[in-house]
Amino acid sequence: MSVPTVVPAGDARTREERQVVASEGLRATRRRRRQRRTVVTVVLAALAAVLCVTALMLGDFRLSVAEVLRALAGADEGAARFIVVELRLPRLVLGVLVGVAFGLAGALFQSVLRNPLASPDVIGISQGASAGAVIAVLGFGTASGVVVPLSALAGGALVGLLLYAVAWRGGMTGHRFVLAGIGVAYVCTSVIGYLLTRSDVKEAQVALLWMAGSLGQADWSLVRTLAIALAVLLPLVALVARGLALLLLGDEQAGSLGIRPEVTRACVVALGVALACVATAAAGPVAFVAFTAAPVARRLLGDGTLALLQAALVGVVLVVGADIVAQHLLPADLSVPVGVITGAVGGPYLIWLMASGRTRTA
pLDDT tens, position by position, 34-45: 899 999 999 999
Q: How far apart are CA 319 and CA 329, in angstroms?
A: 15
Inter-residue long-range contacts of 90-94, CB under 8 Å, 24+ positions, other chains counted: 90/218, 90/219, 90/220, 90/222, 90/223, 91/55, 91/215, 91/216, 91/218, 91/323, 92/52, 92/55, 92/56, 92/320, 93/218, 93/223, 93/227, 94/215, 94/218, 94/222, 94/223, 94/226, 94/282, 94/283
Tell me, what's the pLDDT at 28? 74
Tell me, what's the pLDDT at 314? 95
Tell me, what's the pLDDT at 242? 86
Q: How far apart are CA 19 and CA 210, in angstroms?
A: 60
User: Which of the pair, 252 or 91, is modelled with greater confidence?
Assistant: 91
Quote helix, strand, coil % in the chain, to nearest 5.
Answer: 75, 0, 25
**Can you tell me the mean pLDDT for 292-307?**
86
Q: How far apart are CA 286 and CA 136, in angstroms?
A: 19
Q: How far apart are CA 106 and CA 288, in angstroms?
A: 9
**Rg of the chain on CA atoms, in Å:** 24
Tell me, what's the pLDDT at 116? 81
Tell me, what's the pLDDT at 12? 46
Tell me, what's the pLDDT at 205? 79
Range from 156-170, 220-234, 244-258 carrying the lowest mean pLDDT: 244-258
Q: What is the pTM of this model?
A: 0.87
Tell me, what's the pLDDT at 319? 96
Neighbouring residues of 30: CB distance < 8 A, sequence distance ≥ 6? none
Range from 237-241, 317-321, 336-340 carrying the lowest mean pLDDT: 336-340
Tell me, what's the pLDDT at 89? 94
Please state, in angstroms and as integers, the Cα–Cα distance from residue 110 to each residue in 107, 241, 254, following that order. 5, 13, 18
Q: How far apart are CA 233 and CA 310, in angstroms?
A: 17
**Can you tell me the mean pLDDT for 241-261?**
78
Asked if 112 contacts 355 with a C-beta cutoff of 8 angstroms, the reply is no
Length of the chain: 362
